[in-house]
Structure 1
């Protein structure tokens, strides 16, 4: 291929990620012409409603898939945590990049960590998973919705609307805006288990073997192992991108993978949490096996109740 068109969202972070993929591809194919084409997704347009309430799958991906289907673009670059676990027929996840920092991060103008926040402090986040995990760490905290791109969220923090906000560490790091707040503190994944695929980029294409082969230079095997476990866990639980599920697989050595998972109510009142070490050879079945154990302990009923509460 002489020319490649990348479909991307318009946010600063999405553009950074697409430019990163372009630069990585040019290292391998210096003579290729690569251009970016921007699109607005449903999640970009509806900014006054929590994502969980908008509902539906592919809030960040659908319009990019339409561009691929219409041959307006060849590949789409996604944050893997936003990519539905089931693909429409004809689409494939062609490559996964090396994972960036998977942690959530605490941002505040006055306080260095969640522990330092005063009683009843206000934290901004709309993610049901983050709400659940904050409530487990600090039941006294008041949670307030927070939508918009990273810069908008930080501006709201600086305007004094929140005592602290929680964002994915990787987004802040990629845009190099850690210094815009007084305190930027990544949170250990043992304290706050991230979303499936957090900090990995997924490259989606139409099911075209030539294109998949071309993109294989971007593919990272470790990211594949970790995200396969994480996405299979969520798929088996039938949980979408907007439900309170945390799952993090971490490769320990060439034989074993540590997996931490949590499912619960957004207010932290009920939860199922488990830590497994699985055999590397079993990574293709480990996620769904773990999910079956969670289901046996009532995870599906718990998620159904969590969804009801979230949609009120």
Structure 2
């Protein structure tokens, strides 16, 4: 049976809508006669802007998966047929009844340092105030530059970028390159940010030195497990190399019992037919302690085994 109509669920942020448009175009290319509708659903993470990410686990009925829970409820209730996510927001231990049907070709995995004047991470002023929403980024910043002041920030991508502008501005913010590129904020040579008729400086951080989050830069499409008509249609969009890499990264988090806001960096790449992965794991109880760093490789089709190898080395 061929699929005639599909309802895609998405968050309402500009980035989420941009990513859903990308999925829509890919589906329409693969299935020209498919009618696609979009349904915007507000998630816990969108509603509770008063909370820091670190506080969500302390609030009743607000748990891990803060940017996908309501989308999964809509999936379960058949209000939507599939949900579009930034994969790094999806818990590595997916709830029963759901499946990732496809991941699109991965965008840039790197983090970007945004400043008013040209700076590297090494030559930021002593005690500079750096904004981030990520425990992983904060831990790596303090590991590499213990003198920096880390400021937790919330809001959508443009809102976070603008924290470097105006009075009482931060000295820098750290954001994912993929989101900046998808929103057209980062220029083609990855060196400038253009926002509100102003230009900021951007420095793409080497992922071998500043490790990204598991799944960073990847878009995932989630479906109901067992809904084979929908899964088969969406599966045509799947990018095998991206899937192998993010499978290893997410399996590593799953083995550790780590969540989306756990200070763990994971960097994968494919070379000479092998899937390589490097990880940097911080102690949540003592972020000032030096992290554990490990690296190994396996054949590309052994992504889960690669994750198990690395976990065993910790």
CA distance in 2, matches of 1:67, 1:45: 16
CA distances 1:11-62 after superposition (whole Å, capped 9, x unpaired)? 0000000000000111111121111110111111111322122122110000
CA distances 1:181-202 after superposition (whole Å, capped 9, x unpaired)? 4212211101110110000111
Aligned residues: 293
Secondary structure of the structure 2 residue equivalent to 1:192: coil
Select between 208-217 and 257-266 the one with higher mean Cα deviation.
Answer: 257-266
CA distances 1:207-257 after superposition (whole Å, capped 9, x unpaired)? 21111110111101101110111011000000111110111111113x212
Structure 1 residue 110: Cα displacement: 2.0
Which of these residues, 152, 166, 177, is aligned with residue 169 of structure 1?
Answer: 177
* Higher normalized helix content (fraction of residues): 1
Select between 165-174 and 52-61 the one with higher mean Cα deviation.
Answer: 52-61
- Structure 2 unpaired stretches of 5+: 58-62, 187-193
The alignment status of 1:37 with 2:45, answered yes or no, reads no
Structure 1 residue 83: Cα displacement: 0.3
Structure 1 residue 108: Cα displacement: 1.0
Indicate the residue corresponding to 2:220 in structure 1. 202
CA distance in 2, matches of 1:149, 1:68: 24
Indicate the residue corresponding to 1:83 in structure 2. 90
Q: 1:251 touches 1:257 (CA, 8 Å); kept in 2?
A: yes
Structure 1 residue 275: Cα displacement: 1.9
Which of these residues, 246, 264, 272, is aligned with residue 245 of structure 1?
Answer: 264
Q: 1:228 touches 1:284 (CA, 8 Å); kept in 2?
A: yes
CA distance in 2, matches of 1:278, 1:142: 39
Question: What pairs up with 1:46-61 in 2 under 5 angstroms?
Answer: 46-55=48-57, 56-61=63-68
Q: 2:143 touches 2:290 (CA, 8 Å); kept in 1?
A: no
TM-score of the pair, normalised by structure 1: 0.90
CA distance in 2, matches of 1:27, 1:149: 29
Which of these residues, 108, 112, 117, is aligned with residue 105 of structure 1?
Answer: 112
Select between 236-245 and 256-265 the one with higher mean Cα deviation.
Answer: 256-265
Structure 1 stretches of 4+ with a deviation exceeding 3 A read 265-268
TM-score of the pair, normalised by structure 2: 0.90
